Amino acid sequence: METFETFTYELDGNLYINLTSKCTNDCTFCVRNEHSTYFGHKLWLSREPSAEEVLARIPENISRYKEYVFCGFGEPTIKLPVLLEIGRELKRRGATVRLNTNGQANMIWKRDVTGELSEAVDKINVSLNEASAEEYVKLCKPAFGEAAFDGLQDFAKKCASRGIDVWFSVVDCIGQGKIDLCRQIASRCGVPLRVRPFIEDSN
Ligand code: SF4
């Protein structure tokens, strides 16, 4: 696989920050399984960036982008210290910061990291993906096994209790029955569910 130093990339008026190509899941639908690019952006990293390298790519005029989003070909919270350093600096400059995550940060770091995250990000999109632990394991093949499904729900609850604007996301192609079950899970966790359309990669 060809690799690149695409530490940041623009999409839909946002600046995306790509910290790692590692992930604790191996989702069957993950775009990185079939492509080295995402909407023309070459996201497989040849190496992981430092906070300084990412901050050097942030524009002077912070309002140039609607949001600064930690999201790439891997799980951003694997690089938590770097994410926190960048996020805190972005917030200090007045940016809106979002994290797209599989919700396994507390399992990865073996402690509750949501307090630290609340200082570095404003919004968190936790991919719920499925309506049960068994189906989640089949679809996402998490390194933590079935425990990952409870773990990501606990993570979302803790984020909400810290005052972070957190929501679960699922794609519409899972069908209405599963969407209803996911809505019940989200409601029990006290966080909203957002249903988004399935997006095919461009190449
Ligand atoms: S959690 Fe995201 S980055 Fe990780 S394998 Fe799944 S889709 Fe890919």
Does residue 202 lie within any of the structural domains? no
Ligand 1 center–CA 61 separation, angstroms: 31
| Domain residue limits at 104 | 8-196
The pLDDT value given to residue 203 = 37
Does residue 109 lie within any of the structural domains? yes
Ligand 1 center–CA 29 separation, angstroms: 8
pLDDT in tens, 113-155: 999 999 999 999 999 999 999 999 999 999 999 999 999 999 9
Does residue 154 lie within any of the structural domains? yes
Contact 155, 179 (CB under 8 A): no
When mean pLDDT is compared across 3-17, 101-115, 149-163, the lowest value belongs to 3-17
Does residue 41 lie within any of the structural domains? yes
Ligand 1 center–CA 33 separation, angstroms: 10
User: Does 106 have pLDDT greater than 60?
Assistant: yes
Q: How confident is the model at residue 200 (pLDDT cuts 50, 70, 90)?
A: low
Does residue 158 lie within any of the structural domains? yes
Contact 89, 31 (CB under 8 A): no
Query: How many other C-beta atoms are found inside a 10 Å radius of the C-beta of residue 100?
Result: 17
User: Does 7 have pLDDT greater than 90?
Assistant: yes
Greater pLDDT, 45 or 138 = 138
Q: Quick one: what percent of the chain has pLDDT higher than 90?
A: 84
pLDDT in tens, 173-190: 999 999 999 999 999 999
d(CA 79, CA 4): 18
Residues touching ligand 1 (Cβ under 6 Å) are: 23, 25-27, 30, 32, 74-75, 102, 140
Greater pLDDT, 46 or 136 = 136
User: Does 17 have pLDDT greater than 90?
Assistant: yes
Task: State pTM to two decimals.
Answer: 0.94
Q: Whose CA is nearest to atom 8 of ligand 1?
A: 30
Does residue 150 lie within any of the structural domains? yes
Out of 99, 140, 171, mutate this one to test ligand 1's pocket (max ligand atoms within 8 Å of CB): namely: 140
The token pair that represents 193 in the structure block: 């569910």
d(CA 87, CA 25): 23
Number of domains in the chain: 1
User: Does 169 have pLDDT greater than 80?
Assistant: yes
Ligand 1 center–CA 26 separation, angstroms: 6
Does residue 50 lie within any of the structural domains? yes
CATH number at residue 87: 3.20.20.70
Number of alpha carbons in the 13 Å side-chain half-sphere of residue 36: 10
Does residue 1 lie within any of the structural domains? no
Q: Which atom belonging to ligand 1 lies closest to the Cα atom of 72?
A: 3
Ligand 1 center–CA 96 separation, angstroms: 23
DSSP symbol at 57: T
pLDDT in tens, 60-73: 999 999 999 999 78
